[in-house]
């Protein structure tokens, strides 16, 4: 049993997780990994990683360096509330939206997170209290197409309502990004973020703090929570929770690369969704890495031999975890944001990868652009149509004689390798179609293998990197539909409907090029098609699983 608690984070471990800590902790302490990390030593991940890590380590000092933002955010919030603007909408993807989502949910303050190109979702946001809306447009690079499209649509909506967009849109971006110059030129208020921090490590930069602060979160308290553990996480000693968590995550042997993130009563609402991007996009490359599986509460089945179960415990938890490969983590949100960032850096070193780049994400963006330019998004003929569902199979000739959705799903699941996982990727309205996420549990029970569920295109900025760069053992179920009503993107040749179809088509293409099977189900009628898919999931039999 490993048990460390300090100021406000605690990490306990048992079984293979405790063995991993025992195997790696002393070396990490001897190598002074923790103190070197917090001194921003960019050589910690090997020569190949140095160029990227040299510009991606400022997150270790944000608890202090972000302090000037507190006053700036408060001033904007005061001015906003004085004008009766109390509906904050955040336009941003991945690291530009996942942290504010968790920070606001944990603080119990409302924030509309618009991290989609799905036309119905974007329209619903536009139609919601525009007269009281302030929009934060967050993009580190300034070139993410979803965010750029959302900005253009909001600008048009404000103008159509006779509202000056520069009075309603706050831009958060890196200094010198294309968006930075353009926004300042157009008269928008711009808050620059620390450029020496990558997206998935940016929770305590302006990307995490500006939307949260404007929504009413006490961001100073969040920084205080992170500051309270900074010295502990920088200490070269056995009690360091980041060394322990990092060793448990990246040091099991054989590697338990399916990391279940279990909500075991933590007050940090939706924490798994934030940690998912941090872990998947940081480690899922060079054919290795860790696949986070976000499970609401207790996992459906028994612990599998390639799984690590991480329980997110209440802050004051005395619970010690038990089990063959279990980790328990507790602590305040601010402290855990820094803890998991440091632990991921540790895990990256043990896995032998660069935790700060995302080499495979670009391939999917390029494929999407090609489809968009070629106007061929989703134009490839289906293998067959069953009722309201068009069926397409990519990545090999595995469909066999399937003639129904049921048979196609069984054929996909039949491709699962011994330590495989099934990824469900739904390019639908994650608010209106939220119930679809329940298929994750039922599929997991039936196939007795890890099942992940991601809303498209949101997951493309989270687990997307892992699907292409991680261990080649996934099978992929993609669900798309035609929006109830499409939405033009001002100044662009494509509509949101074109764009999301290209994103789905491009991602499927790239996964298939990696030799992995992809089953694409396109709902020609949303309601009837969804009913058919849910039925097929219910009809699936465990004997359909290959291994
Ligand atoms: O903040 P940006 O530059 O719009 O990027 C959004 C997200 O897209 C990625 O660059 C790729 O998924 C993430 O790393 C990042 O968090």
At residue 315, the pLDDT reads 85
Q: What is the average per-residue pLDDT within 491-516?
A: 96
Please tell me the distance from the alpha carbon of residue 427 to that of residue 273, in angstroms, as a whole number: 17
Is the ipTM higher than 0.95? The answer is yes
Question: Do 367 and 286 share a structural domain?
Answer: no
The whole model's pTM is what?
Answer: 0.97
Asked if residue 4 has pLDDT above 90, the reply is no
pLDDT at 6 over 80: no
Q: Name the pLDDT band for 485 (thresholds 50, 70, 90).
A: very high
Domains: count for the chain:
3
How many C-beta atoms surround the C-beta of residue 509 within 10 A? 19
**Do 254 and 209 have their domain in common?**
no
Nearest CA to ligand 1 atom 8: 461
pLDDT score for 148: 97
- Which helix (H) or strand (E) element contains residue 90? strand 87-91
Atom of ligand 1 nearest to the CA of 96: 1
Residue 39 near residue 340 (C-beta atoms within 8 A): no
Average pLDDT over residues 192-209: 98
Mean pLDDT, to the nearest integer, of 7-29?
Answer: 94
Tell me: do 193 and 254 sit in the same domain.
Answer: no
Does 70 have pLDDT greater than 50? yes
Phi, psi of 452 (to 5 degrees): -110, 155
Whether the per-residue pLDDT at 168 is higher than 60: the answer is: yes
> Among 281-295, 318-332, 335-349, where is mean pLDDT lowest?
318-332
At residue 377, the pLDDT reads 53
CB within 8 A of 78, min separation 6: which ones?
Answer: none
Q: State whether 65 and 189 are in the same domain.
A: yes
CATH code: domain of residue 229: 3.40.50.10490
Final residue belonging to a domain, choices 351, 382, 400: 351
What was the pLDDT predicted at 373? 87
How many angstroms does the Cα of residue 128 sit away from the middle of ligand 1?
A: 26
User: Is pLDDT at 421 greater than 50 in this prediction?
Assistant: yes
Same structural domain, 435 and 532: yes
Distance CA 280, CA 292 (A): 6
Using alpha carbons only, how large is the chain's radius of gyration in Å? 23
Q: Which atom of ligand 1 is nearest to the CA of 464?
A: 12
Token pair for 56: 């991606």
Pairing of strands 474-481, 421-426: parallel
pLDDT confidence bin for 320, thresholds 50/70/90: confident
**Which residues neighbour 220 within 8 Å (Cβ) at sequence distance 6 or greater?**
67, 70
403: confidence class by pLDDT, cuts 50, 70, 90: very high
Residue 415 sits in the same domain as residue 498: yes
The reply to whether 297 and 323 lie within a common domain is: yes
Among 200, 222, 244, the domain-final residue is 222
Indicate the SS3 state at residue 48. Answer: helix
- Same structural domain, 372 and 519: yes
Q: How far is the CA of 97 from the centre of ligand 1 (A)?
A: 9
147 and 272 part of one domain: no
Mean pLDDT of the chain: 95
Residue 288's Cβ-count burial label (10 Å; 0-12, 13-18, 19+) is: middle
pLDDT at 5 over 70: no
Burial tier of 384 (Cβ tally within 10 Å: 0-12, 13-18, 19+):
middle
The DSSP symbol for 290 reads -
Q: Pocket of ligand 1, candidates 56, 92, 96: which has the most ligand atoms within 8 Å of its Cβ, to mutate?
A: 96
Domain residue limits at 411:
359-544
Residue 193 has pLDDT above 90, yes or no: yes
Give the mean pLDDT of 475-492.
97
Q: Which residues line ligand 1 (CB under 6 A)?
A: 93-96, 139-141, 144, 147, 199-200, 281, 358, 361, 461
pLDDT at position 1, please? Answer: 47
Backbone angles phi, psi at 126, to 5 degrees: -60, -40
> Residue 441: enclosing H or E segment and its boundaries?
helix 439-447
Q: Please, which pLDDT band fits residue 376 given cuts at 50, 70 and 90? A: low
pLDDT at residue 375, rounded to an integer: 66
Does the pLDDT of residue 53 top 90, yes or no? Answer: yes
Q: Report the pLDDT value the prediction gives residue 477, as an integer from 0 to 100.
A: 98
Shared domain for 298 and 177, answered yes or no, is no
Residues 71 and 195 in one domain: yes
Q: Which of 18, 547, 60 is nearest to 304 (CA)?
A: 547
Average pLDDT over residues 492-521: 96
Q: In angstroms, what is the span from residue 46 Cα to ligand 1's centroid?
A: 24
Whether residues 66 and 211 share a domain: the answer is: yes
> Residue 448 Cα, ligand 1 centroid: separation in angstroms?
33
Domain end point (choices 222, 242, 263): 222
94 Cα: distance to centroid of ligand 1 (angstroms) = 6
Q: Which atom of ligand 1 is nearest to the CA of 98?
A: 16
């Amino acid at each position: 049993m490993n048990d460390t608690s300090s100021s406000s984070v605690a990490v306990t471990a048992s079984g293979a997780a405790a063995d991993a800590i025992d195997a790696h902790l002393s070396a990490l302490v001897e190598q002074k990994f923790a103190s070197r990390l917090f001194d921003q030593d960019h050589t910690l991940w090997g020569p190949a990683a140095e160029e990227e890590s040299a510009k991606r380590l400022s997150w270790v000092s944000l608890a202090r360096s972000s302090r000037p933002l507190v006053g700036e955010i408060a001033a904007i919030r005061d001015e906003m509330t004085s004008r009766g603007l109390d509906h904050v909408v955040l336009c941003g993807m991945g690291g530009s939206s996942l942290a504010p989502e968790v920070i606001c949910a944990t603080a119990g303050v409302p924030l509309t997170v618009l991290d989609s190109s799905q036309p119905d979702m974007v329209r619903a946001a536009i139609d919601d209290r525009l007269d009281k809306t302030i929009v934060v447009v967050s993009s580190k690079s300034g070139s993410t197409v979803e965010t750029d499209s959302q900005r253009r649509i909001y600008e048009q909506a404000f103008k159509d309502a006779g509202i000056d967009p520069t009075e309603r849109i706050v831009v958060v971006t890196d200094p010198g990004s294309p968006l930075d110059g353009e926004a300042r030129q157009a008269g928008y208020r711009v808050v620059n973020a620390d450029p020496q921090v990558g997206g998935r490590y940016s929770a305590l930069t302006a990307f995490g703090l500006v939307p949260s602060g404007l929504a009413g979160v006490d961001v100073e308290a969040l920084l205080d929570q992170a500051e309270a553990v900074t010295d502990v996480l920088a200490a070269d000693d056995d009690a360091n929770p980041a060394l322990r968590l990092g060793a448990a995550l990246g040091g099991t042997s054989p590697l338990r690369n399916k990391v279940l993130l279990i909500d075991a009563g933590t007050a940090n609402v939706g924490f798994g969704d934030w940690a998912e991007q941090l872990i998947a996009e940081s480690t899922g490359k060079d054919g290795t890495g860790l696949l986070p599986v976000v499970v609401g509460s207790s996992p459906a089945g028994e612990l599998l031999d390639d799984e690590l179960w991480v329980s997110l415990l209440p802050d004051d938890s005395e619970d010690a975890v038990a089990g063959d490969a279990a980790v328990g983590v507790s602590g305040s949100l601010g402290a855990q944001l820094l803890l998991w960032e440091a632990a991921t850096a540790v895990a990256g070193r043990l896995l032998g990868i660069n935790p700060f780049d995302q080499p495979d994400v670009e391939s999917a963006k390029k494929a999407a652009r090609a489809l968009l330019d070629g106007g061929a998004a989703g134009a490839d003929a289906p293998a067959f149509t069953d009722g309201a569902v068009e069926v397409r199979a990519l990545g090999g000739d595995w469909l066999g004689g399937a003639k129904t959705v049921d048979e196609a799903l069984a054929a996909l699941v039949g491709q699962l390798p011994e330590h495989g996982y099934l990824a469900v990727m739904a390019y639908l309205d994650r608010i209106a179609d939220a119930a679809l996420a329940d298929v994750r549990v039922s599929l997991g029970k039936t196939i007795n293998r890890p099942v992940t569920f991601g809303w498209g295109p949101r997951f493309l900025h989270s687990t997307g990197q892992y699907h292409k760069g991680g261990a080649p053992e996934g099978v992929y179920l993609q669900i798309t539909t035609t929006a109830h009503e499409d939405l033009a993107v001002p100044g662009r040749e494509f509509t949101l409907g074109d764009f999301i179809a290209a994103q789905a088509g491009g991602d499927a293409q790239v996964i298939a090029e990696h030799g992995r099977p992809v089953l694409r189900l396109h709902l020609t009628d949303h309601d009837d098609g969804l009913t058919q898919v849910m039925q097929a999931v219910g009809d699936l039999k465990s004997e359909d699983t290959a291994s």
